[in-house]
Amino acid sequence: MRDFDHTFFQNRACKYFPCHKGVDEEDFNCLFCYCPLYFLGERCGGDFSYTESGIKNCKSCTRPHGNDGYGYITGKLKEK
């Protein structure tokens, strides 16, 4: 198991773990359980879609939870 630090955290006791498919469980990062990039709308760069009622849907996106989730999120937040 990976060591926890300020860039990585897991909560395997969560009943939803792993909440997104497509990331190896050993590398699954729970740090950004609620993605801080949601407010960026289409500029988040993630794999979102829209529901029929026009709500941004992040169900298929693994960017915050992947091996470099921390780097991706903090990098995007630094963009202007």
User: What residue number has its CB nearest to ligand SF4?
Assistant: 46
Of how many residues is the chain composed? 80
- Which of these segments, 3-11, 21-29, 34-42, binds ligand SF4 (CB under 6 A)? 34-42
Nearer to ligand SF4 among residue 23 and residue 58 (C-beta): 58
Q: How far is the CB of 1 from ligand SF4 (least distance, A)?
A: 24
Phi, psi of 38 (to 5 degrees): -55, -40
44 part of the interface to ligand SF4, by CB under 6 A: yes
Q: Which residues of 35-68 are buried (b: 16+ CB within 10 A; e: fewer)?
A: bebeeeeeebebebeeeeeeebebeebbbbbbbe
30 part of the interface to ligand SF4, by CB under 6 A: no
Helix (H) or strand (E) holding 73: helix 69-78
Residues of the shown chain interacting with ligand SF4 in the complex, contacts defined by CB under 6 A = 35, 37-38, 44, 46-48, 58, 61, 63-64
